[in-house]
């Protein structure tokens, strides 16, 4: 198991538990009580640590190397899933995956950022940073979903769209903008889940929909805390302050009315009990798809247009008053 | 022969580049350093008469250049607020106060309704001098209301982009303005009202990745910087120098993301032509 800095008190307890388990396997000493005691201790400690996470700690949890990624969720949730590749224009982007799957008989089109599980795979997936062809593949799949009346499920987990030379040549900005424009008026339901990192336009490029959800230990912001620190503080050392200032946690986003719900994670985060997390997400998708399918096509689009028209915080000034 | 020899050179700057003058009277071209009177510059559409560099100008300068005389400002009463109580090295509230103080503007975008070649047009023009032309809730809301106004009156819409991107101090709210403006433009498109996107130096970040790239027609001023990621970030990512002309208007035209590039001197005529071409009325 990998423990983050603020999880160090837990590491100790888990080590003890592991040792006692070994002892019980080797000999005839009854350690059931001791194990129970330790487990209670772990639970209490977990509760203590995870109920008071700062913005930056949540950012760290969202990047936990053992956290489940898009394909894991899709493959575990669907009885059958076929991955589909390519944007039909230029290339197949490995940082955004997609395909058709079924949950309880309902065909769904899944789209999501994909990160790698080891160094080699992380490079292969470009660390979940998509190029324009990734967004265009996503749009191709959404258009197909629209033709066949299949709801679209987007799983978002990216440190941002890739800031490369070729990405600019092929129109990174146009690809993201086009997706926003088309997703605003797609005829089928769109559900978006932030399952890890939700960084800026790269996340939003597959993140506009009827309902937007965040898993408990994820973040969503216009910029990563690191980049924000480097621009506004002119140093990379203020990421903690930046994470607080950006108010990027799921709780904040729900409070601001910018997302619709928070999906609970198992104690300690999604990676502690991935199976439980998959189950929770599956049930959540099922419920929301059913609710959205009950609405008419035009009604759904109208709701979506109104939802986004309302986003923003501003004052109305008295005439001629500058402030 | 003199008695003394100068060992060090004196003033190094060539006198050609050193021309100090009181503010507001003279203008020095950022590109070729040629100096003009502000009056001369204005008469030449704010273009350097030596190197054709288009100086950065504000929303009201564009309104004066484009509209036939008078125009009406809209939605000026919408104001930014520090909803998140955002503090970095400065408070966002203080930044806003400074911007209001230093400029004649109420935010980074200004909406106006007028006529061009006798045909109605609604223009939303951005101002770089207001917190880097950054997009926050006010920019989103003004565009949103401008779109409603255009649908109601069936008036063609144009946005003049000039922005460093999203306004970080509004965090997720500024990010959602990308979604909001794109959603409103989808509504405009459904109502079959033409939308022209005119990009000027610079157009980057969330602005490019939303309304700037969504025009029925996309066009730009010559040599404007247009892109998603900034050149510095790209350079750091790929760890090599960027090619000459990278992310400039001509580069975007060549890669298929612009319909044409328009010199500021021809801007008004070009827009009038477009309004004429998009108008579906039988000629008498």
Helix (H, G, I), strand (E, B) or coil at A113: strand
Whether A323 maps to a domain, the answer reads no
For range B1-25, the mean pLDDT: 69
Which chain B residues have a beta carbon less than 8 Å from that of A174? Answer: 213, 257
Which chain B residues have a beta carbon less than 8 Å from that of A164? Answer: 234, 237-238
For range A30-35, the mean pLDDT: 83
Contact flag A305-B176 (C-beta cutoff 8 Å): no
Among the partner-chain residues A168, A185, A231, the one whose CB lies closest to the CB of B227 is A168
pLDDT at A51: 84
For range B156-180, the mean pLDDT: 97
Give the start-to-end residue ranges of the domains of chain B. Answer: 1-55, 57-279
Q: How far is A265 from chain B (nearest CA, A)?
A: 22
pLDDT at B284: 67
**A113 lies in the same domain as A38:** no
pLDDT at A5: 87
Whether A318 maps to a domain, the answer reads no
For range A114-139, the mean pLDDT: 97
pLDDT at B16: 65
Q: How far is B228 from chain A (nearest CA, A)?
A: 5
Whether A112 maps to a domain, the answer reads yes
Contact A200, A161 (CB under 8 A): yes
Among the partner-chain residues A161, A182, A253, the one whose CB lies closest to the CB of B228 is A161
Residue in A closest to B175 by C-alpha: A222
pLDDT at B2: 74
pLDDT digits (tens, 9 = 90+) for A89-105: 999 999 999 999 999 99
pLDDT at A227: 92
For range B157-184, the mean pLDDT: 97
* A323 pLDDT more than 60: no
**A186 lies in the same domain as A209:** yes
**A46 lies in the same domain as A92:** no
For range A1-22, the mean pLDDT: 87
CA-to-CA dists, residue A213 to A29, A203, A210, B32, B172, angstroms: 48, 13, 10, 52, 14
Among the partner-chain residues B89, B144, B228, the one whose CB lies closest to the CB of A309 is B144
* A34 pLDDT more than 90: no
**A28 lies in the same domain as A64:** no
Which chain A residues have a beta carbon less than 8 Å from that of B199? Answer: none
For range A123-140, the mean pLDDT: 97
- Per cent of chain A over pLDDT 90 is 80
First and final C-alpha spacing in chain B: 86
Residue in B closest to A245 by C-alpha: B86
**A187 lies in the same domain as A47:** no
Q: What is the CATH number of the domain that holds A151?
A: 3.90.226.10
**Architecture of the CATH domain B57-279:** Alpha-Beta Complex (3.90)
* A31 pLDDT more than 90: no
More confident of the two residues B176 and A33: B176
pLDDT at B21: 53
**A149 lies in the same domain as A227:** yes
**A34 lies in the same domain as A107:** no
Which chain B residues have a beta carbon less than 8 Å from that of A309? Answer: 144, 180, 183-184
| Closest C-alpha among B28, B142, B19 to residue B79 | B142
Q: How far is B113 from chain A (nearest CA, A)?
A: 19
pLDDT class of B17 with cuts at 50, 70, 90: low
Among the partner-chain residues A185, A241, A312, the one whose CB lies closest to the CB of B186 is A185
Domain with A41, as residue range(s), is 5-52
Q: What are the residues whose beta carbons fall under 8 Å from the beta carbon of B113, sequence distance 6 or more? A: B71, B72, B74, B120, B121, B122, B123, B149, B155
Contact flag B213-A242 (C-beta cutoff 8 Å): no
**A33 lies in the same domain as A169:** no
pLDDT class of B25 with cuts at 50, 70, 90: confident
**A36 lies in the same domain as A143:** no
Among the partner-chain residues A204, A232, A304, the one whose CB lies closest to the CB of B88 is A232
Does the model's pTM come out above 0.90? yes
Q: How far is B48 from chain A (nearest CA, A)?
A: 29
For range B30-40, the mean pLDDT: 91
Contact flag A258-B172 (C-beta cutoff 8 Å): yes
Whether A316 maps to a domain, the answer reads no
* B19 pLDDT more than 60: no
pLDDT at A203: 98
Number of domains in chain A: 2
Contact flag A222-B171 (C-beta cutoff 8 Å): yes
Among the partner-chain residues B84, B137, B257, the one whose CB lies closest to the CB of A312 is B137
ipTM of the complex: 0.94
**A115 lies in the same domain as A21:** no
pLDDT at B18: 60
Which chain A residues have a beta carbon less than 8 Å from that of B135? Answer: none
Q: How far is A251 from chain B (nearest CA, A)?
A: 13
pLDDT digits (tens, 9 = 90+) for B67-96: 999 999 999 999 999 999 999 999 999 999
Residue in A closest to B144 by C-alpha: A309
pLDDT class of A308 with cuts at 50, 70, 90: very high
- Per cent of chain A over pLDDT 70 is 98
* B44 pLDDT more than 70: yes
**A138 lies in the same domain as A260:** yes
Contact flag A222-B170 (C-beta cutoff 8 Å): yes
For range B193-200, the mean pLDDT: 98
pLDDT at B174: 97
For range A236-262, the mean pLDDT: 96
Among the partner-chain residues B89, B205, B214, the one whose CB lies closest to the CB of A233 is B89
* B9 pLDDT more than 80: no
More confident of the two residues A136 and A25: A136
**A216 lies in the same domain as A168:** yes
CB pairs under 8 A between A and B: 197
pLDDT at B248: 97
pLDDT digits (tens, 9 = 90+) for A41-67: 988 888 888 888 999 999 999 999 999
Q: Mean pLDDT in chain B?
A: 93
């Amino acid at each position: 198991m990998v423990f983050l800095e603020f999880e160090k008190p837990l590491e100790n307890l888990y080590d003890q538990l592991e040792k006692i388990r070994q002892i019980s396997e080797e000999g005839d000493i009854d350690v059931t009580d001791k194990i129970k005691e330790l487990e209670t201790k772990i639970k209490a400690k977990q509760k203590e640590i995870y109920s008071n996470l700062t913005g930056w700690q949540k950012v760290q949890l969202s990047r936990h190397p053992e956290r489940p990624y898009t394909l894991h969720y899709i493959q575990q949730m669907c009885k059958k899933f076929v991955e589909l590749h390519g944007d039909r224009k230029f290339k197949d982007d490995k940082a955004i995956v997609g395909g058709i799957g079924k949950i309880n008989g309902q065909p769904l089109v899944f789209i999501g950022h994909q990160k790698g599980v080891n160094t080699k795979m992380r490079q292969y997936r470009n660390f979940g940073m998509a190029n324009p062809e990734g967004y265009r593949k996503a749009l191709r799949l959404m258009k197909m979903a629209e033709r066949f009346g299949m709801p679209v499920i987007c799983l978002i987990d990216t440190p941002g769209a890739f800031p490369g030379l070729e990405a600019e040549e092929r129109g990174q900005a146009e690809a993201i903008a086009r997706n926003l424009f088309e997703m605003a008026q797609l005829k089928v339901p769109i559900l978006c889940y932030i399952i890890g990192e939700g960084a800026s336009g790269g996340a939003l490029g597959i993140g506009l929909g009827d309902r937007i959800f965040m898993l408990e230990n994820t973040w969503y912001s216009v910029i990563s805390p690191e980049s924000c620190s480097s621009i506004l503080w002119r140093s990379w050392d203020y990421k903690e302050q930046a994470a607080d200032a950006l108010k990027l946690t799921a709780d904040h986003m729900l409070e601001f009315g910018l997302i619709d719900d928070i999906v609970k994670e198992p104690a300690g985060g999604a990676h502690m009990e991935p199976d439980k997390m998959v189950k929770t997400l599956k049930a959540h998708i099922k419920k929301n798809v059913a609710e959205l399918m009950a609405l008419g096509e035009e009604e759904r689009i109208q709701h979506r247009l109104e939802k986004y028209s309302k986003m923003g915080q501003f004052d109305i000034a008295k005439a001629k008053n500058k402030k | 022969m003199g008695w003394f020899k100068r060992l060090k050179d004196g003033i190094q700057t060539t006198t050609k580049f050193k021309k100090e003058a009181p503010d507001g009277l003279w203008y020095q071209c950022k590109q070729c350093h040629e100096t003009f009177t502000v009056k001369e510059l204005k008469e030449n559409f704010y273009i350097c008469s030596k190197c054709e560099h288009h100086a950065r100008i504000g929303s009201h300068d564009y309104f004066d250049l484009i509209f036939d005389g008078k125009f009406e400002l809209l939605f000026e009463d919408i104001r930014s607020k520090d909803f998140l109580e955002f503090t970095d090295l400065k408070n966002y509230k203080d930044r806003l106060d400074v911007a209001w103080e230093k400029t004649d503007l109420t935010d980074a975008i200004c909406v106006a309704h007028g006529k061009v070649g006798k045909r109605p047009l609604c223009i939303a023009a951005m101002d770089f001098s207001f917190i880097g032309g950054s997009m926050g809730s006010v920019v989103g809301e003004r565009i949103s209301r401008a779109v409603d106004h255009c649908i109601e009156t069936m008036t063609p819409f144009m946005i003049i982009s000039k922005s460093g991107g999203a306004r970080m101090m509004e965090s997720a709210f500024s990010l959602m303005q990308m979604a909001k403006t794109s959603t409103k433009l989808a509504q405009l498109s459904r109502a079959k009202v033409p939308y022209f996107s005119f990009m000027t130096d610079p157009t980057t970040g969330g602005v490019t990745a939303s309304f700037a790239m969504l025009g029925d027609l996309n066009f730009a001023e010559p040599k404007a910087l247009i892109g998603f990621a900034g050149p510095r970030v790209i350079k750091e990512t790929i760890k090599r120098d960027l090619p000459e002309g990278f992310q400039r208007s001509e580069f975007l035209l060549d890669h298929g993301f612009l319909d044409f590039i328009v010199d500021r001197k021809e801007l008004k005529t070009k827009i009038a032509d477009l309004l004429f071409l998009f108008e579906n009325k039988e000629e008498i």
